[in-house]
Amino acid sequence: MTAIRLLLVDDDPLVRAGLSFMMGGADDIEIVGEAADGGEAETLVDRTRPDVVLMDIRMPTVDGLTATERLRARDDAPQVVVLTTFHADEQVLRALRAGAAGFVLKDTPPAEILAAVRKVAAGDPVLSPTVTRQLMRHAVGTAADTRRTRARERMAALNDREREVAVAVGRGLSNAEIATGLFMSVATVKTHVSRILAKLDLNNRVQIALLAYDAGLLDGEQEGH
């Protein structure tokens, strides 16, 4: 089994040391480097080619948000998991919109951080539907109407079936659950998800969920919670 190549990015040397000690003990994870800010992280990504970057948001010089946006814009982008001390932080939401696969709190138990890295390396997001809704509800203000208009314009590129799948993804359903609900095979669901990502130029399912929310397609779901 090939080990997951992991890059640790945090401006606090004690946090990096703790993460290194914790993550380095796993047989399936190889820590390929540590960085103290986003700029250094970009350099190390070029040098070490990690599969996953565990990225702090608040750092001097180049913050984690800027680094995440730059890394996820690459053709060979690593997966990014954001480290934060906040559940509903606007910067976390921006990182997810930029393509981060999820986030973990710094006080998350070690086993859960390890599980998050493994999930992301396997191509799965690390956000529960509940946490996703909490984050999206946090994104309110004067820019909301503009986001909705733009999101609806982008969603217009999807056909009816793809919109149904996008809404289901936004509600946090798995491929198997979507297949059952929409009476199609899991393979067909996967094909639709891939087409949605390609048509909308998105990186992952989290971004599909955020766009569906912005477009107002999950309004009924929000009212039920």
User: What pLDDT score was predicted for residue 126?
Assistant: 77
- Which residues pair with residue 52 across a beta bridge? 6, 79
Q: Tokens 């996953």 map to which residue?
A: 52
Nearest alpha carbon to residue 39 among 6, 70, 76, 12: 70
As a whole number of angstroms, the distance between CA 212 and CA 119 comes to 23
For residue 65, what are its two tokens? 């948000």
Q: Tokens 């004067």 map to which residue?
A: 142
For 177, other C-beta atoms within 10 Å of its C-beta total 14
User: What pLDDT score was predicted for residue 143?
Assistant: 56
For residue 41, what are its two tokens? 């992280």
Residue 131 above 70 pLDDT? no
As a whole number of angstroms, the distance between CA 45 and CA 58 comes to 19
Highest mean pLDDT among 8-22, 106-120, 125-139: 8-22
Q: What is the pLDDT of residues 212-222, one digit of tens each?
A: 988 888 865 44
DSSP class of 8: E
Per-residue CA distances from 75 to 70, 147, 162, 203 (Å): 11, 26, 25, 11
Q: Decide: residue 183, CB within 10 A, 0-12 exposed, 13-18 middle, 19+ buried.
A: exposed
As a whole number of angstroms, the distance between CA 171 and CA 95 comes to 20
Query: Whole-prediction pTM value?
Result: 0.73
- Residues with Cβ within 8 Å of 67's Cβ and at least 6 positions away in sequence, in order, are 9, 37, 38, 39, 41, 42, 55
User: What pLDDT score was predicted for residue 223?
Assistant: 38
User: What pLDDT score was predicted for residue 96?
Assistant: 84
Nearest alpha carbon to residue 128 among 57, 213, 205, 53: 205
User: What pLDDT score was predicted for residue 224?
Assistant: 38
- Residue 46's φ and ψ, nearest 5 degrees, are -60, -35
How long, in residues, is the chain?
225
